Chains A and B, each alone.
Chain A
Amino acid sequence: MKSEKRAFVTAADLLIIAALLLIGFFAYRYVYSGPEEESFELDYVVKVAAVRSELSEKVAVGDEVYSADGAYMGRVTAFESRGAVLTTTGKTVPDRSDLYITIEASADGDGLVSGYEIYVERELSLHTTGLSFDGVCISVR
């Protein structure tokens, strides 16, 4: 008499099923993820207040800018150094400069630059290879 073959599920079968499910999941995500939102160029200006004048020459057009956690935040396209002015009194501070650094960056479809939302009055801690600075965004276009 022919012995009856019993169906049973082994660990290997479960592994294969899990692998197939994962493949299916990623295939679904790939196919139905919808059209990618287009990135766009963003220019923003960061004002760095009252920097010692000897540090104000450490930034140059073309420098790449990174956040404190190392995210790429764009490239310096314009740079201006003006005598620092106290906002409360309007008096000029000797040997201190206000830096205006224009940065061009690529924003994703949600308007984020490397995950950072850029908006006016946003405080940013950034650095190039020549200078670390804390500033506030004063313009976005």
Chain B
Amino acid sequence: MKEKKFTFGVLDVFLILVVILSAAGIAVRCVLTDENGILARTPEKTSAAVQILIEGIENSSSDYFSEDAVFTVGSGDDEGRLMSVTVQPAEYYVENENGELEIAYEDAENGRRDVRCTVVVEGYYRDGIFMLGGKTPMLPGSSVPVSGGGITVTALIIDTAPIDGDT
């Protein structure tokens, strides 16, 4: 009986290439890329001091905010520690006798409060923007939820500065 001789042809090479390229494609897609499909880099984790402003909360609610209190910042589970908390009567606008708008302040005893504080959080700098937990951009002008101890408020980000000195 004539023995069938195995020959390694162009087709075999082609098929092997297809299999290798497919495996490489899967590896790149699943292992080396981030959630946006971009080749992931591993930047250095760093801390940032984020200055936030919480406007017009109830007088009693301002008691929740004190130095060293820990709050969840953003919609994930990233935590931050409060520093330099300043509580002031909330600002609002009134018209003066000339019909011009002026800044006025709520009653110092019982009126609403504006809380300005700095929260220290961890994340990564990506393209010059601090990303809380690597995901949420902490940009001045944007708002972020702050919650903990039974209170949740929306805070306006005023400034973000690196603590470790590198961006």
Residues on A facing B (Cβ under 8 Å): 12, 15-16, 51-52, 54-55, 58, 70, 86, 91-95, 127, 129-133
Which A residues are in CB contact (< 8 Å) with B56?
none
Interface 1/0 per residue, B17-60 and A, CB below 8 Å: 01000000000000000001000000000000000000000000
Which chain B residues in 94-141 approach chain A with CB under 8 Å? 95, 99-103, 127-129, 137, 139-141
Closest Cβ–Cβ distance, residue B102 to chain A (whole Å): 6
* Per-position binary interface string of chain B over residues 84-98, scored 1 when its CB falls under 8 Å from any chain A CB and 0 otherwise: 000000010101000
Q: Are A132 and B141 in contact (CB under 8 A)?
A: yes
Find chain A residues with CB under 8 A from B158 CB.
52, 54-55
The contact sample of 5 A-B pairs, CB cut-off 8 A, is A12-B11, A91-B101, A94-B93, A132-B142, A132-B157
Shortest Cβ distance from residue B134 to the other chain A in the assembled complex, whole angstroms? 15
Using known A-B contacts A15-B15, A129-B128, determine if residue A94 contacts B139 with beta carbons closer than 8 Å.
no
CA distance A54 to B128 in the complex (A): 20
Partner of A95, one of B15, B36, B103, B156: B103
B residues within 8 A CB of A12? 11, 14-15
Across chains A and B, which 6 residue pairs bring their CB atoms closest together, nearest first? A132-B142, A129-B128, A132-B139, A132-B141, A131-B141, A94-B103
Q: Shortest distance in angstroms between B1's beta carbon and chain A's nearest beta carbon?
A: 15
- List residues of B whose CB falls within 8 A of some A CB: 11, 14-15, 18, 36, 91, 93, 95, 99-103, 127-129, 137, 139-142, 156-158
CB distance from A86 to the nearest CB of B (A): 8
B9 (CB) vs chain A CBs: closest residue: A12
Main secondary structure of the interface of B (DSSP, over half): mixed
Chain A residue nearest in CB terms to B101: A91
Q: Which of A51, A70, A92, A129 contacts B101 (CB 8 A)?
A: A92
> Could you tell me if B15 and A92 are in contact, using CB atoms closer than 8 angstroms?
no
The answer to whether B141 touches A92, judged by C-beta atoms less than 8 angstroms apart, is no
Chain A residue at minimal CB-CB distance from B142: A132
- Name the residue of chain B whose CB is nearest to the CB of A86: B101
Decide if B103 touches A16 in the complex (CB within 8 Å).
no
Pairwise interchain contact A131-B140, C-beta atoms closer than 8 A: yes
Q: How many Å lie between the Cα of A55 and that of B156 in the bound state?
A: 11
Contact A91:B141 (CB < 8 A) given known A16-B11, A54-B158, A129-B127: no
Task: Let me know if B142 and A91 touch, CB within 8 A.
Answer: no
In the complex the two chains form, what is the Cα distance from A16 to B100 in whole Å?
A: 79
- Closest chain-A Cβ to B106's Cβ sits at a distance in Å of 16
Check A129 against B103 for contact (C-beta < 8 Å). no
**Pair A58/B128 contact, Cβ less than 8 Å:** no
